[in-house]
């Protein structure tokens, strides 16, 4: 700043009190005459102490620089700063279930505030579990969604990413997983909204309440209208709560993060505000270590497991973007959403060829499942190669063998669609939960050409494969019934 900072009144200061000397948006410089607060200390200032600042840099023997976790309107040089004596903390305890929180642990669901006697407060800055505490047992986490369970099975205690651009269905898929898993798993779900729309948070809360799954759920939100500091720390607060249920309550936790890219984006904003030199494509130079600090706390231990499913926004659908590349490295399963499949109405719009999982090996999922998944991928890959020929010359120019491959692939694509419980009000279709055995059985029978005489549409948006026969009977019965009614109506008129 061009003007000289105000000098603090030394008589007014003690070891816990400082003075604001500069304000640059969300970045605040403060002077402490007697002892600097440690890194990550939480400071309070403002006319009523409502402005909260986290210390990130000790500039010299007297000055610290911090990032505001709240808006800085009304903050001015010369205001007193109080050191709270500790870092940002999150509430833990059984009573946090069914509640909605902000980054400070305050309830934001318009329900009565939590009593301090029922909760404890823990620092959000915690180390990941030691290697000796981690479990090495690999176990599949079944979701009830066909295309995920068959082609990209999730790992219990692992991390799965939902990759996709804007509007391809990441949040809808996350919401469906919450509905399926909370209803069928004896665990706790924690939903962490990072930098997403406030409307989505309100809708999710209402839907979970209506579905009756809120009693085993905790929600935290650092929405896109909040300062970058709050969005950057909300993920750490959610993990602190998840670690409590895993380590103290010995329960399995499903941690859903929407959206991990916004965490990286918030870190980039904080880094830029703090004056750090940007790295590739403008990202912060510390992106790798910041993301690892969050992701490595998500682990499977001998006490319980934190299974994480994270939506990852991919800027401009570019999977070589550093944010997407760094996130890929932490995941045990990658579920890639395709805009092309969404435009064709194939929901969930998961690309079966780009999606992958390290669990899809014979030693974990079994020989039959592995070979079936490989056969499905091979069939869909052959179809993808034949699409150009079909577009230029028509399907009639293909050999009979290639035509059979196309028919199988198109039926597989439609069978891997599924009506969701959370979209019933929009589609009018009843949601389906499909077991892994039913999904494998359906794919196996389609590859064996059992449904070659049925139209492709009979396999679209169904649950188990046998529903295709009932759907086809309903479709063929309708014209006949209509003709019979018209014939009866004509004979009644003739008699009259």
Residues recognised as catalytic:
170, 196-197
Cβ burial, residue 18 (10 Å; 0-12/13-18/19+):
buried
Three-state SS at 83: strand
CA distances to 367, 391, 487, 488, 490 from 493, rounded to whole Å, are: 65, 52, 10, 9, 5
Q: At what angle do helices 436-447 and 367-393 cross, to 10 degrees?
A: 50
Q: Compute the distance between CA of residue 203 and CA of residue 451 in angstroms, rounded to an integer.
A: 40
Q: Compute the distance between CA of residue 470 and CA of residue 457 in angstroms, rounded to an integer.
A: 12
Name the β-bridge partners of 210.
Answer: none
Q: Compute the distance between CA of residue 170 and CA of residue 422 in angstroms, rounded to an integer.
A: 13
Cβ 80 vs Cβ 51: under 8 Å: no
Helix (H) or strand (E) holding 370: helix 367-393
Q: Compute the distance between CA of residue 319 and CA of residue 328 in angstroms, rounded to an integer.
A: 10
* Strand pairing report for 154-155 and 140-141: antiparallel
CA distances to 127, 155, 370 from 437, rounded to whole Å, are: 39, 17, 13
Q: Compute the distance between CA of residue 42 and CA of residue 186 in angstroms, rounded to an integer.
A: 36
Q: Compute the distance between CA of residue 194 and CA of residue 266 in angstroms, rounded to an integer.
A: 9
Cβ 234 vs Cβ 220: under 8 Å: yes
Closest CA to 201 of 119, 256, 143: 256
Q: Compute the distance between CA of residue 239 and CA of residue 132 in angstroms, rounded to an integer.
A: 20
């Amino acid at each position: 700043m061009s003007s000289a900072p105000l000098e603090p009144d030394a008589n007014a200061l003690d070891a816990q009190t400082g003075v604001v000397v500069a304000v640059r948006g969300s970045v605040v410089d403060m002077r402490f005459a007697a002892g600097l607060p440690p890194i990550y200390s939480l400071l309070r200032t403002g006319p009523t102490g409502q402005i909260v600042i986290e210390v990130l840099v000790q500039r010299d023997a007297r000055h610290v620089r911090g990032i505001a976790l709240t808006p800085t309107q009304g903050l001015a040089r010369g205001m007193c700063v109080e050191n709270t004596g500790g870092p940002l903390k999150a509430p833990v305890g059984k009573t946090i279930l069914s509640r909605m929180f902000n980054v400070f642990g305050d309830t934001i669901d318009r329900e009565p505030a939590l009593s301090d006697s029922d909760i404890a407060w823990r620092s959000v800055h915690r180390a990941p579990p030691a290697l000796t505490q981690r479990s090495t047992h690999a176990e599949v986490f079944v979701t009830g969604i066909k295309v995920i369970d068959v082609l990209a099975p999730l790992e219990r205690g692992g991390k799965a990413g939902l990759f996709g651009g804007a509007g391809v269905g990441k949040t809808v898929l996350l919401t469906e997983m919450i509905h399926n898993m909370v209803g069928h798993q004896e665990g706790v779900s924690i939903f962490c909204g990072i930098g997403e729309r406030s409307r989505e948070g309100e809708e999710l809360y209402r839907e979970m309440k209506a579905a009756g799954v809120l009693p085993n759920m905790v929600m935290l939100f650092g929405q896109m209208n909040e300062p970058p500091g709050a969005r950057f720390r909300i993920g750490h607060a959610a993990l602190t709560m998840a670690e409590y249920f895993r380590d103290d309550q010995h329960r399995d936790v499903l941690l859903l993060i929407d959206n991990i890219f916004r965490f990286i984006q918030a870190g980039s904003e904080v880094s830029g505000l703090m004056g750090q030199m940007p790295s590739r494509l403008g990202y912060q130079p510390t992106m790798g270590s910041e993301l690892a600090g969050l992701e490595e706390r998500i682990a499977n231990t001998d006490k319980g497991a934190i299974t994480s499913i994270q939506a990852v926004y991919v800027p401009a659908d570019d999977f070589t973007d550093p944010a997407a590349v760094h996130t890929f490295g932490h995941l045990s399963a990658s579920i890639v959403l395709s805009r092309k499949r969404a435009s064709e109405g194939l929901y969930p719009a998961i690309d079966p060829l780009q999606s992958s999982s390290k669990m899809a090996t014979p030693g974990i999922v079994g020989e039959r499942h592995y070979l079936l998944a490989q056969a499905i991928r091979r069939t869909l890959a052959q179809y993808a190669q034949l699409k150009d020929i079909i577009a230029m010359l028509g399907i009639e120019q293909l050999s009979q063998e290639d035509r059979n491959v196309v028919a199988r692939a198109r039926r597989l694509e439609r069978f891997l669609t599924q009506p969701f419980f959370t979209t019933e009000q929009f589609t009018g279709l009843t949601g389906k939960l499909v077991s892994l055995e039913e999904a494998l059985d359906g794919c196996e029978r389609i590859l064996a050409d059992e449904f070659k005489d049925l139209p492709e549409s009979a396999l679209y948006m169904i649950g188990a494969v046998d529903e295709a026969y009932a759907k086809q009977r309903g479709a063929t019965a309708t014209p006949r019934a209509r003709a019979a009614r018209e014939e009866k109506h004509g004979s009644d008129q003739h008699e009259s």
